[in-house]
Amino acid sequence: MSRDTLKRDFRDKVAIVGVGTTDFGAMYRDLDPQRSNYQLGLTAFKAAIEDCGLTRDDIDGIFTSRVPDTVRMSEILGIRHPRFSSTLPGGGRYSGLGVQYAAMAVYSGMADTVALIYGNNGRSVGAKYGGDGEGGGPESNSADFDVPYGMTSPGAQYGLMYRRHQALYGTPAEALGHLAINNRNNAMKNPISVMKNPLSMEDYLNTRFIAEPLRLLDYCLINDGAVCIIVTSAERARDLKQPPIYISATQSTSDFTAQYLSDNFYYDSLSSMAPDLFGAAGIDRKDIDFAQIYDNFTPTVLFSLEGLGFCGKGESGSWVTPERISLTGELPLNTSGGHTSESYMQGWAMHVEAVRQLRGECGDRQVANAEFGLYSCTSPVSAAHILRR
């Protein structure tokens, strides 16, 4: 069978049937240095199986990320003999990839129902991204060739890309402000978000720089929390408590170089993936009702929109107007508040938000009549799904 045939056959055969999260806002103000990623994972797992009406004994596949060891998590949950299991690395790219692995396991019959469990106690234990210890070890080119210059952190790599994007295309500073403000506006309508105070463009432009041209408000939060997602076949999904949210298409792509940054803003990798993704779902970009776009740093959204073809190369800076990206706009973006205002659950909570939007559970921030939603994460490994109700 050709790749196209396979991907058409996969369409809507696997569904997300249960989701669970912690209350990110409540936990942000309640730090606990003893907070365990396993205990966080347990909380989200119970919420997710309750959500779909399954029991622990229905779970025969398990993946964890940032919960350090799937064996320990399974032992805690009393899942003795899962048919398919693995520990994923803790990076944000593994949320989209984890859902892909679960979907492949279900589609191939290797597991019937897979739980994906993510727990992050980063704020309580003082997690840092960059600085001493980053990228160390005897094989580290970064430690030898970047760190002696004070170069560190994924955000600084995004700062370099964004500066270059501005130089090539005249991208205005306000473009990132629109994204940060849109996130905040949405987070203010999200009961479990971390950041709920209003944000103006003036506030944004007055925020301190971290790696100029990027400001503090261009950076993701660091907060504690957990997410669990339950994936099963469309057939089994029909009898469960919630309406199934189908995975219409999913695809990943890569751009592997010596640096985290991509000299084409990931355009080459994303634009090669996009036809596969939309083709496999049998829809066009205009059919997408909202997009949850991984925003570890706000420029990631711009690069993703260009690479996925929502706007032309270099045009994202003027494309992301408040009207277009708001909840009532042409392409509502990051409807939960994204990583800069809802939570930084490294893409996992964005999946949950997509599911809740497609179920119509989002109250004040509900996108009207949402039928198709996009999740995408752009990084050296990018992944994207089209989900539908």
User: The tokens of 222 are what?
Assistant: 């660091």
Structure tokens that stand for 312 in this block? 């032309």
- Does residue 88 touch other proteins according to CB under 8 A? no
Considering the rule CB under 8 A, would residue 154 count as an interface residue with other proteins?
no
SS (H, E, C) 279-325: HHHCCCHHHCCEEEECCCECHHHHHHHHHCCCCCCCCHHHHCCHHHH
In whole angstroms, the minimum distance from the beta carbon of 327 to other proteins comes to: 33
Binding span for other proteins by CB under 8 A among 114-122, 170-178, 202-210, 355-363:
202-210
Q: Does 245 bind other proteins (CB under 8 A)?
A: no
CA distance to 163, 193, 199, per residue, from 221 (Å): 22, 11, 15
Is the omega angle on the peptide bond into residue 198 within 30 degrees of 0, that is, cis? no
- The per-residue b/e assignment along 182-210, b for 16 or more CB within 10 angstroms, e otherwise, is bbbbbbbbbebbbbeeebeeeebeeeeeb
Exactly one of 51, 60, 146, 218 binds other proteins (CB under 8 A); that residue is 146
47 binding other proteins? (CB under 8 A): no
Give 214 or 228: the residue with its C-beta nearer to other proteins. 214
Contact 317, 175 (CB under 8 A): yes
**Residue of the chain from 23, 58, 127, 130 that contacts other proteins (CB under 8 A):** 130
With binding defined as CB under 8 A, does residue 176 bind other proteins?
Answer: no
**Of positions 138, 239, 286, 323, contacts other proteins by CB under 8 A:** 138
Q: Which residue, 66 or 215, is less far from other proteins as judged by CB?
A: 215
Kindly determine how many residues on this chain lie close enough to bind other proteins according to the rule CB under 8 A: 35
Q: Is 105 in the site for other proteins (CB under 8 A)?
A: no
> Interior CA angle at 23 toward 21 and 26, to 5°?
160
Surface-to-core class of residue 384, CB atoms within 10 Å of its CB (0-12 exposed, 13-18 middle, 19+ buried): buried
The nearer residue to other proteins, 171 or 186, going by C-beta atoms, is: 171
**Residue selected from 104, 143, 173, 201 as contacting other proteins according to rule CB under 8 A:** 143
Question: Residue 140 in 3-state DSSP?
Answer: coil
Task: Provide the residue type at 261 as one letter.
Answer: L
- Pick out residues in 203-222 that bind other proteins (CB under 8 A): 208-214
Q: Pick from 86, 254, 259, 321 the residue near other proteins by CB under 8 A.
A: 259
d(CA 266, CA 386) in angstroms, rounded, equals: 19
**Cβ proximity to other proteins, 5 vs 149, nearer residue:** 149
Please confirm, yes or no, whether 246 is among the known catalytic residues.
no
Is 167 an interacting residue with respect to other proteins (CB under 8 A)? Answer: yes
Beta carbon nearer to other proteins, 154 or 225: 154
Instruction: Quote the tokens at residue 288.
Output: 């997408």
- CA 295 – CA 293 distance, rounded (Å): 6
Q: Does 159 bind other proteins (CB under 8 A)?
A: yes
- Is 162 one of the catalytic residues? no
For other proteins, the binding residues (CB under 8 A) are: 130-132, 138, 141, 143-153, 156, 159-161, 163-164, 167-168, 208-214, 258-259, 261, 263
